Structure 1
Amino acid sequence: MLKRLLNRSRALDRAKSETERYEISRELLEGADPKTRADMARREDVRPEVLYYLAGDDEAVVRLEIAGNAKTPAQANLLLASDRDDEVRCQLALKIGRLLPTLDCETQVVVRERTIEVLDILANDQLPKVRAILAEELKTCVAAPKSVILKLAQDIEAIVAAPILEYSPLLSDQDLLEIIAAGVAEGAMPAIARRRDLPAEVSDAVVASLEIPAIAALLANPSTQIREETLDMILDHAEDLECLHEPVVMRADLSVRAIKRIAGFVAASLVDILVSNNELPDDVEQDLKEAVRKRIAEAEAAPNDDDPGEVEAQRLSSLGKLDEEAITFALDANHAEFVIHGLALRSDIAPGTVRRIFAARNAKAITALAWKSNLSMRCALKMQNFARVPPKERVNARNGVHFALKPEDMEWQLSFFVG
């Protein structure tokens, strides 16, 4: 059947007008079964009129082959960009992203213009998977339209925005600053922090966001520039955030002042790495080691008397009365130790970790802690107030009562402090 169609399609070469060629194409394919049409759609030696006709086929399997065919005419790609089948649009996004860099701006002006139209449509597709495929293909492309790159970089889904934010050479430092100021997709800020040769101005903006995963990624990026005052801001929070200890120790551009400060709170094993990674004067090295020994000795000698707040939390827990009312009362009364140990008992998270979550003043992590403790969003708001989270950074309730974050997002937030 396919061979007969190919032989008969030679009549297309003798047709004198596009209309005549299209009509011949339609007549050739009307009686063919779906498999034959799909086989025809896959071929690259078929006339453009045939491929265009097949782009409107009723069978998704046929349109899927057309979407992946590099020889499909630009007008047919434009038709497929709004296809009702998700997989067809995904396949088209994959092809178009790879096709764009091969188009000659001078000799293929019309084709490029149509292709850019397709990109615009796909960049606005309702399905995140389509946009994510497009972003992955365009992340290093210098031929992509800047408007499309900016659109993808500002996408509300991290799987779309992150590849562009991390790799696109078309994003200027000013673009990045404006994107951060406008708000980055949740989970996408670390992508900016991982960019090569990130300037100090952008590093400042990343740190100002107070997103712990992004700050950790920034510290782990050897090519980023971090000002001394910005590093000081990081160190203000790093003592209570163990996930930042190793990244900050591994920085290669630390001043002696910063090294001394870091050595004051990281584990002894990390101090050894800190010393070995930096060429320090002998007296400074000895001072650091002595400070660590003193810190360990003080910790071992510290009294282990139970705080009254801890005792009361344990008592109520044993009676089954460590409920939301008890936690709320302690929050309102600013009974810190009761709050810390009460939440630790309800969430099964160590008291030290609960303390670090509050110290970080991370609204999302605090909200996640409330959820893990089986408390209400109303209590989560009180916990944010207890931690003195700035009002503009607080996570508010959805519809007045529900948690605004998804369970998997809250588990993800806690993962930076637990385990």
Structure 2
Amino acid sequence: MARSADPAVRRRVAEHPRTRPELLYFLAADTAAEVRKAIATNHGTPRQADLLLAKDRELSVRSAVAKKVARLLPDLSADQAAQIERFTVECLETLARDQASEVRGILSEALKDLPNAPHGVINTLARDVELSVCAPVLQHSPILTEEDLVDIIMKGPVAGAMSAIASRREVSASVADAIARSDDEAAVTALLANPSAQIREETLDRILDQAPQHEPWHAPLVRRPRLPARAVARLASFVADNLLKALQERSDLAPDAARALAEAVRVRVGKAASGQGPGRPLGPVDFGEELAAEEKPAERPSDRAARLNKEGKLTEALLEGSLTEGDRAFVLAGLAELAQIGLPIVDRIIGTHAPRAVTALVWRAGLSMRFARQVQLRIAQIPPKTALNARDGVHYPMTDEEMRWQLEFFGIEAKG
């Protein structure tokens, strides 16, 4: 029957559950696709034949092999799965590289939840160019490590892949930080909406720096668990009235966060009453103390900076508020005043769009690396992927000597 000229007869042999393994292997090379497909679906087919069929020229045959694996793996015990892996890992790797996304997708769906799936196969599927293939394992697979996920993010995956990562059951702080740096609006939205995502305060600050221009982030930001006081104050300065109300109605805010919110609302109401409008950002201030100082209408930014510095009020918090408000002229004047250099030189440094030079300028002004990051992004318009980040989340990434060297290019001598 296996040598019959009629493919229908050979197919019956291929389908029969009691056909001997050597005959199934023989029929795996049959000229008729219907026979090879029957071999692919037969659970008695030896692993060597499955590998042969995983490379078959017919899509229907390769799909049948993938579907068989999909049905078998979830029901295997740990010992059985280990045995299957030893014999069929090459077959799985072949299917993971199949030219047809349908075959790779079948495999991805089958392996996405399995704790004992081969790491190499999962990694290949996670880096696939088709979202339908990579998304299931990116969102669900416990096999992918933190290092795998960060590497995938840094290499710029297919559109939609980062949203799948952001929706995982557990998102570590380093993975969340990588997503926040990606400029992917949908992925950051998914990250903020994921209550189990671990988002460091520094990462949250970075997101808040850009949040006024990303309306989809506002609602999930307002609903984030365990919001720090600083984040609450900043949110209250720019979210819409309905979200501000939702923020006020939260009962889980810490006392300092509740005070920050009350003060931010007071300042916002005051600005609305003065005609500046409720939607204009007010800036992340230390409960509004610096904003209590009113600017004289005719006062130039450089004069105001000099006056406030003399009064001891030219603080980082005040400059952050001006940065959020979009008062670029005053931020530059404040940097010039604190750094004790001329405003034209500050303009030249900012105009270079060079991360190291801009960072050195903020260091010279005696301000934090976190603020230097904001100046890079919002004043110098340096792309997030190029901008310098804080070392250990706090410190400047360059030595003092390196930053002095950067400033020497602009004729700035070390402070006496």
TM-score (norm: length of structure 2): 0.60
* Contact map agreement 1:252 1:277 (CA 8 A) in 2: no
* 1:149 maps onto 2:122 in alignment: yes
How large is the RMSD of aligned CA atoms in angstroms? 3.1
Could you say which residue in structure 2 is the equivalent of 1:192? 165
* Contact map agreement 2:125 2:134 (CA 8 A) in 1: yes
Could you say which residue in structure 2 is the equivalent of 1:236? 209
Could you say which residue in structure 1 is the equivalent of 2:65? 92
Give the 5 Å matches for 1:240-389. 240-280=213-253, 286-291=262-267, 293-294=269-270, 298=275, 388=381
Distance 2:52 2:181 in 1: 44
| Counterpart AA for 2:140 | Y
Identity %: 44
Give 1:240 shift: 1.0
| Counterpart AA for 2:20 | R
Going from structure 1 to structure 2, the CA distance change for 1:145 and 1:279 (only over 3 Å counts) comes to closer
Could you say which residue in structure 2 is the equivalent of 1:137? 110
* Contact map agreement 1:153 1:164 (CA 8 A) in 2: yes
* Contact map agreement 1:157 1:186 (CA 8 A) in 2: no
Q: Secondary structure at the match of 1:257?
A: helix
* 1:64 maps onto 2:40 in alignment: no
| Counterpart AA for 1:144 | A
Q: Secondary structure at the match of 1:26?
A: coil
Distance 1:253 1:391 in 2: 26
Could you say which residue in structure 2 is the equivalent of 1:205? 178
Q: How many residues align?
A: 282
* Contact map agreement 2:2 2:10 (CA 8 A) in 1: no
Distance 2:53 2:177 in 1: 43
Going from structure 1 to structure 2, the CA distance change for 1:114 and 1:288 (only over 3 Å counts) comes to same
* Contact map agreement 2:166 2:176 (CA 8 A) in 1: yes
Give 1:295 shift: 5.8
Out of 192, 200, 206, the position equivalent to 1:219 is: 192
Distance 1:110 1:300 in 2: 68
Gaps of 5+ in 2: 280-379, 387-416
Going from structure 1 to structure 2, the CA distance change for 1:257 and 1:32 (only over 3 Å counts) comes to same
TM-score (norm: length of structure 1): 0.59
Considering fraction of residues, name the structure with more helix: 1
Distance 2:149 2:135 in 1: 12
Going from structure 1 to structure 2, the CA distance change for 1:290 and 1:66 (only over 3 Å counts) comes to farther
Give 1:114 shift: 3.3
CA deviation digits over 1:82-138, x for unaligned, max 9?
A: 111112212212222442455677679875433111011111112222222211211
Distance 2:198 2:48 in 1: 46
Could you say which residue in structure 2 is the equivalent of 1:26? 2
Gaps of 5+ in 1: 1-24, 303-386, 394-419
* Contact map agreement 1:100 1:143 (CA 8 A) in 2: no
Q: Secondary structure at the match of 1:262?
A: helix
Out of 139, 145, 148, the position equivalent to 1:166 is: 139
